A = this chain, B = another copy of it.
Amino acid sequence: MIVVMNNGANRQDIDQVLDRLQSLGFKIHLSEGVERTIIGAIGDKTILNEVALEAMPGVEKVVPILQPYKLVSREFKEHSVVKVGDLEFGGKALHVMAGPCAVESREQLLETAESVAKSGATVLRGGAFKPRTSPYAFQGMEEEGLKLLAEAREKTGLKIVTEVVDPRNVELVARYSDILQIGARNMQNFFLLKEVANIDKPVVLKRGQSATVEEWLMAAEYLMAGGNYNVILCERGIRTFETFLRNTLDLSAVPVAKNLSHLPVIVDPSHATGKWQYVKPMAMAAIAAGADGLLIEVHPNPAQALCDGPQSLNPENFDSLMNDIRKMAAIMDRSV
């Protein structure tokens, strides 16, 4: 950490900062220049948040040098492979999670599951508890939906991923699902993160729509600090001034997150674009950018979907996408 004193800082201001840092166990380097005095401080980066140095007289700004996360960092571990049964995220194989936004009925779910399995998906997605912008919108089938997901797993061999939205339901969801999903709106719902950290199931952690990559990794740090090391990051679009599509898919976040952390990264082009016509080019681009997998919305009849129909592929389009993904995998030295 570098503390930059402002050019009106006096001896007493500087000494107070030095005392504060030393009392917290930091090692100090002082550099007194003509225009500014600069203090370098080396110590436990995880306690920086506790130190309100910018509130001290004479301090102009504090510049962190090290990233604020530890367990997520590639300095902690070079590379992680997250296992879901026999599937490996972050290994050579790409994995595609596919299915409807929401579980709506037994027929809808089983039909989708069989179809995406045939096309090459390895994980079935489907929401049982739906966080909806409007209180008047369909809110999900709840436990009944979880049971249908489990039945679809039985029938198809697909693994199951579903969102957990409430700390009170974490154990319930974990009883049925192979992977827990933390949605974009809950990326900084720290009390939910702490609960999920206690569960022995892999987690797909979606990036919040206004979260920096660093904040996303800090949310992963919450999970790991709480004991759950099986985190799969998922980029799903950020909010910008451009509103033609729902969000702006930030594909550079894929190589950035893989460079800063050791965790696997997948991409959800369905939520990012909000329009099914753009799902294929963005899915292809995601793999080209280095993603380890995809999360794709598929519905047997998108125009009748209770949730996110406009962004759902129908089974034919999903099958066509999988064919193209296989070609892409080949040149990226990956398999599907």
Contact = CB atoms under 8 A, between A and B. Distances in A.
Interface of A: 2, 4, 7, 20, 29, 31, 33-36, 38, 40, 42, 46-47, 49-50, 52-57, 63, 65-66, 68, 75, 129, 131-138, 165-168, 185-186, 188-191, 208-210, 212-215, 218, 221-222, 225-226, 238-245, 248-256, 259, 272-273, 275-278, 281-282, 284-290, 302-306, 308-310, 312, 324, 327-328, 330-331
Contact of A138 (B29, B50, B285, B287): B50
Dominant SS at the A interface? mixed
B49 A137 contact: yes
Nearest to A290: B281
Nearest to A63: B63
Copies of this chain, how many?
4
Contacts of A31: 29, 40
A207 to B, nearest CB: 10
A238 B249 contact: no
Given A134-B221, A225-B136, A327-B331, A278 B302 contact: no
26 contacts: A29-B31, A35-B42, A36-B65, A38-B40, A49-B138, A50-B306, A52-B305, A55-B309, A55-B310, A57-B303, A135-B218, A165-B190, A185-B189, A212-B244, A213-B244, A214-B244, A238-B240, A238-B242, A239-B241, A240-B250, A241-B243, A243-B243, A255-B282, A285-B285, A327-B331, A330-B331
